[in-house]
Chain A
Amino acid sequence: MSITGREERVLQIIETARAKRARFRDEQITLAHGAGGKATQTLIEGLLVPAFTAGREHSALSALGDAGRVQIGATGLAMTSDSFVVKPLRFPGGSIGELAVNGTVNDLAMAGARPLALTVSMILEEGLRSDILRAEVQAIATAALTAGVEIVGGDTKVVERGAADGMYLCTTGVGVIDERAELATDGIRPGDQILVSGPIGEHGSAIMLARDQFDLDAEIESDTCSLWPAVDALLEATGGQLHCLRDATRGGVASVLNELARASGVAMIVREGDVPVSPVVAAAAELLGIDPMYVANEGRLVAFVAPEAADAALAALRGVEGCEGAAAIGEVRADPSGMVMVHTAFGGRRVMDQLVGDPLPRIC
């Protein structure tokens, strides 16, 4: 059936409305603005980016990567910052301190940068028990040693009881962009293969269950870890044929694919049956009515690789500790541009849309 006349005009109205730059028009901030979906996008693209790029001819911010690029002579530096407000502070497989190190280290790694140094700021709530603080300080120290980054500065603030929830952490990191890396958020090409570095949805599921809201017992541990070893192996195996990297944190793999499909003007085709999900995460997601593709990860990356380098990339990933379960989950096509399509394991197709809001606020 072809589209003609009035229907075509209606579709054009919709497409014109969508192509307009996101505008931030909300009267106040709601939790949806922090959920990583459409509302977050209006906040970033409608308020922050226009304000911070105004009056500049070039801005590293416009690329909207996980880390910004700063050029000093011949050396490219990556710089990024991230805040952590997770509840509960400790959960199976990790804690806020470990997240705060790995989250920032991974944002640097996704820019193809070897992480060098971090600063750590703490906002502590009056009344926080010292043993809890001590444990998180230790977790930060251990995670930094493991990830090979030095903590070179920081700050502490204490706020009145009730003005924060235990503790919030903010880390800022800097790394040196690897010479082998030629990564860009708009560098994805039709034909590229989509890889994930292991089973997905574990961090978010672990947090949900740790909140004890569901009367559900399952042994799921957060996947939090430094992804630099995985990136190092990928760069070694593929060099310039690795086109883009993203860690699939807030909003999960689905949000990463949607953002990048738009940024690169391509379509992503995901083979649902090839997406690695552990049986226990699949069961929990089934019970809660959640799609693991939208669940947060803290130690999983999505890589876009030229087809001829895909096998080498996958083999390299699987050789890295913690990434043994890496898999190729789909490929990039030219059309329909900006969309993510899923071939379901049952044999049908559907569109995997951006998250509208978040059923579970504050998981990273």
Chain B
Amino acid sequence: MKFVDEFRDAELGRALSAQILGELEPGRHYKVMEVCGGHTHAIYKYGLDDLLPENVELVHGPGCPVCVIPMGRVDDGIAVAHQPGVIFTCFGDMLRVPGSEYTLLQAKAQGADVRMVYSPLDALRIARENPDREVVFFAIGFETTAPSTALTLKRAKAEGLRNFSCVCNHVTIVPPLRALLESPDLRLDGFIGPGHVCTVVGARPLEFIPADYGRPVVISGFEPLDILQSILMILRQLRAGECRVENQYTRVVPQEGNLRALEVMAEVFALRPHFEWRGLGFISQSALRLSDAYADFDAERRFELPGVRVADPKACQCGEVLKGVIKPWECKVFGTACTPEHAIGTCMVSPEGACAAYYNFGRYAREREAV
């Protein structure tokens, strides 16, 4: 595939790998967090861990939009889905995220009309085709997917659709990062910045990381060479004693972001005072609701939601795993109360989460035997 294969060249990968080795200070252990779930996926898909020296460790960040949705919000979604006449739409990977009792997939098996869509516009089409049904879209994601929800709502408003509404769970990337950085026991040396989020918001919102917390950030693309190059750029900053936001993904990320997308978001959304994150607790101003101009499309106003907060089990230590303070196996509930089949925390919910990955491949990954 043109314009893709160029970024997957194994020989260039080995060359970058050798350069990374050359930047390391002897005896130092490096922990670099990739913020975005898309990066985690690419690291896993291409086996990038293998191309890094043993003392460069990648820590998976809080950027998986599905796994950060707390149980109470999933319960709210399930309650809406069970209302008579409702067609409940959401992205496929949301279907398997556990609420306090069960998942949307199980709600579907119980008779709720839950449908998987690939874009919020598909949900809008379903609303047009079913004028006598209430169609609800369960919106999730960071600034990457928020503009498409916003545009969909604008279109719904322009068309005067009365049977379409949205449960808005959109979250923003900066507040959870700040929450992580605020923690006194943080053990991270640098950040691989979220390329797709920055396509929308630009590079500036990440500048507080070097400015306030003294950690380098490199905004990265999602191909394997992008990620290796970004790690190299972080290590170079560390070695030179520098600390700033660099943009490795210049072919896509403009410095100022996407102004039109930001405008649409500003029109359709408003900041929530606070929002709960699975594993991280409440974080202020970390999520979006529909603005008053779009109140008619807000499923939270249209339906009675239980809105019950379901606390993460006390024993869950996802926050500490995310901060790199403890290893998955050091968590009190790892492998006993919390397993991939019955996940408690965000790190176990997604198959690419740190705990799920360790649960499935732990001994192999640790022994790194020669195969």
Q: Taking beta carbons and an 8 Å cutoff, which residues of A are in contact with B?
A: 1, 3, 6-7, 10-11, 13-15, 17, 27-32, 38, 213-214, 267, 269, 279, 282-283, 286, 291, 333, 335-336, 339, 341-351, 353, 356-357, 359
The interface stretch among B187-195, B246-254, B300-308, B356-364 is B356-364
The interface stretch among B6-14, B79-87, B201-209 is B6-14
Q: Taking beta carbons and an 8 Å cutoff, which residues of B are in contact with A?
A: 1, 4, 8, 10, 13-14, 44-51, 54, 92, 95-96, 105-106, 108-110, 116, 118, 122, 224, 327, 329-330, 334-336, 339-341, 351, 359-364, 366-367, 369, 371
Indicate if the CB atoms of B10 and A345 lie closer than 8 Å: yes
Which among A286, A343, A344, A345 has the greatest number of chain B C-beta atoms within 10 A?
A344
Question: Which residues does chain A contribute within 8 Å of B122, judged by CB atoms?
Answer: 213
With A6-B329, A13-B335 given, is the CB distance from A214 to B118 under 8 Å? yes
Indicate if the CB atoms of B50 and A30 lie closer than 8 Å: no
Question: Which residues does chain B contribute within 8 Å of A345, judged by CB atoms?
Answer: 8, 10
With A336-B363, A336-B369, A339-B364 given, is the CB distance from A348 to B51 under 8 Å? yes
A245 → chain B closest CB, angstroms? 25
Indicate if the CB atoms of B363 and A353 lie closer than 8 Å: no
Indicate if the CB atoms of A28 and B109 lie closer than 8 Å: yes
Question: Which residues does chain A contribute within 8 Å of B336, judged by CB atoms?
Answer: 13
Known interface pairs A346-B46, A348-B47, A348-B49; 20 further A-B residue pairs with C-beta atoms within 8 A, sorted by A's residue number = A1-B366, A3-B363, A7-B366, A10-B329, A10-B334, A15-B363, A213-B118, A336-B363, A339-B364, A342-B47, A343-B47, A346-B8, A347-B47, A347-B51, A348-B46, A348-B50, A350-B46, A351-B360, A356-B340, A356-B351
A283 to B224, CA, bound (A): 17
Indicate if the CB atoms of A347 and B10 lie closer than 8 Å: yes
B366 nearest CB neighbor, chain A only: A3
Indicate if the CB atoms of B109 and A29 lie closer than 8 Å: yes
Indicate if the CB atoms of A14 and B362 lie closer than 8 Å: yes
A218 → chain B closest CB, angstroms? 13
Contact residue among A15, A29, A341, A350 (Cβ-Cβ distance under 8 Å from B45):
A350
User: What 5 pairs between A and B have smallest CB-CB spacing?
Assistant: A348-B47, A348-B50, A346-B46, A350-B47, A10-B329
A42 nearest CB neighbor, chain B only: B341
A31 to B110, CA, bound (A): 12
Question: Which residues does chain B contribute within 8 Å of A7, judged by CB atoms?
Answer: 327, 329, 366
Would you mind naming 22 contact pairs between A and B with Cβ atoms under 8 Å apart?
Answer: A11-B329, A11-B362, A11-B363, A15-B363, A28-B106, A28-B109, A269-B371, A336-B371, A339-B364, A343-B47, A345-B8, A346-B10, A346-B48, A347-B14, A348-B46, A348-B48, A348-B51, A349-B47, A350-B44, A350-B47, A356-B96, A356-B340
A91 to B13, CA, bound (A): 40
Indicate if the CB atoms of B47 and A30 lie closer than 8 Å: no
Indicate if the CB atoms of A344 and B45 lie closer than 8 Å: yes
A7 to B1, CA, bound (A): 43
Indicate if the CB atoms of A282 and B1 lie closer than 8 Å: yes
A332 to B341, CA, bound (A): 28
A242 → chain B closest CB, angstroms? 25
Question: Which residues does chain B contribute within 8 Å of A282, judged by CB atoms?
Answer: 1
Question: Which residues does chain B contribute within 8 Å of A342, judged by CB atoms?
Answer: 47
Question: Which residues does chain B contribute within 8 Å of A341, judged by CB atoms?
Answer: 364, 371
B64 → chain A closest CB, angstroms? 14
Question: Which residues does chain A contribute within 8 Å of B14, judged by CB atoms?
Answer: 347
A31 nearest CB neighbor, chain B only: B105
Which among A15, A345, A356 has the greatest number of chain B C-beta atoms within 10 A?
A345
A186 to B330, CA, bound (A): 37
Indicate if the CB atoms of B1 and A286 lie closer than 8 Å: yes
Question: Which residues does chain B contribute within 8 Å of A333, judged by CB atoms?
Answer: 371
